[in-house]
Structure 1
Amino acid sequence: MTTKLILTHEVTGLGTAGDVVEVKDGYARNYLVPRGLGQVWSRGAEKQIEGMRASRAKKAHASVEAASAVRDQLEATRYTVTGRAGAGGRLFGTVTSKEIAASVKAAGGPDLDRRSIEVKQHIKTLGTHAVTVHLHDGVTAKLTLEVVPA
């Protein structure tokens, strides 16, 4: 069974805000809708999304330049996250997107929405890791994250 959803945020591999997609019921019910990434499709919801899309289009041109400036700022800096680690360099737990956003803020960077931070694989070791941040449609930043022992 599939459910028709309207995405309210960008979801990697699925679409951007305002897209109408069909996904499996469980994915919609257990992941997308509770996290506020999508809402169940209806005619009224689609009209509301059209209004949001129109207002975003007006702001898009200026925000692309702003997002590019933020991207340049983010990519120019190395960010540090501390974590408790064992003898082999393995962390007790993983580095979360919330910790990454706090690290960027502590280093004097912009406020990032933790949902815009994409970690390809869980960060469970000390060392340098690459993290992707979605700033705007088509504008992404590659962060360099250094995980050090606490």
Structure 2
Amino acid sequence: MKVILLESVTGVGETGELKNVSDGFALNYLFPKNLATRATNEKIGQLKNLAEKLLKNQEEKKKAIKDLYTKIKKVKTVKIMAKSGPKGKLFGSVNKKTICKSILDSKKINIPKDYICMKEEIKNLGKYKIEINIPNQESFEISVEIIEQG
């Protein structure tokens, strides 16, 4: 199936390119995530105008990502309150979603959970280093401190 990429897709192509991909990939991945649109004769004719608009949108997204990077880079420590047992083992765990919510609540920065790199969920009280990997930016670590909720 021929598609026009609305965003850059790793291993497929760049924004505004006309690509031939499998039907399943287009229908199950590209279209639902709004990464591509079906290439019709009419749309192929409009591709030049679309490419210019997409390039502008991509530049705006790059600026937004750079702004997010600047804001989140200033965050050194995130404190999360959690209930735990007598030996510091958490009732449940702290995952990417919990960390994102904590950053949003405390620092007013909305970071997608995909940007947080964790090998496994946190299951004990204490301090942990979490890697933040924002696309096209240098990755860095922040400290996450899990504190007993009293």
- Please classify the TM superposition score into its range, dividing by the shorter chain length: 0.5 to 0.7
1:49 and 1:113 mapped to 2: Cα distance?
Answer: 28
Where does residue 79 of structure 1 map in the other structure?
78
Pick aligned residue for 1:57 from 48, 56, 59: 59
2:134 and 2:35 mapped to 1: Cα distance?
Answer: 22
Structure 1, unmatched stretches of 5+, are: none
Pick aligned residue for 1:125 from 123, 126, 149: 123
1:15 and 1:140 mapped to 2: Cα distance?
Answer: 24
Note if contact 2:15-2:51 (Cα within 8 Å) is conserved in structure 1. Answer: yes
More moved, 49-58 vs 79-88:
49-58
**Larger proportion of strand:** 1
TM-score by length of 2: 0.56
Where does residue 90 of structure 1 map in the other structure?
89
How many residues align? The count is 140
Residue 83 (structure 1) shift: 1.8
TM-score by length of 1: 0.56
Structure 2, unmatched stretches of 5+, are: none
Instruction: Give every structure 1 segment of 4 or more consecutive aligned residues whose post-TM-superposition deviation is greater than 6 Å.
Output: 13-17, 31-34
User: In the alignment, is residue 142 of structure 1 matched against residue 144 of structure 2?
Assistant: no
Q: Against the structure 1 CA distance between its residues 63 and 101, is the aligned structure 2 distance closer, same or farther, given a 3 Å change threshold? A: closer
> Alpha-carbon deviations, 1:50-106, whole Å to 9, x = none?
743443236636863x345324312xx211112222333322222133321232233
Aligned to 1:144, the other structure's residue is in SS state strand
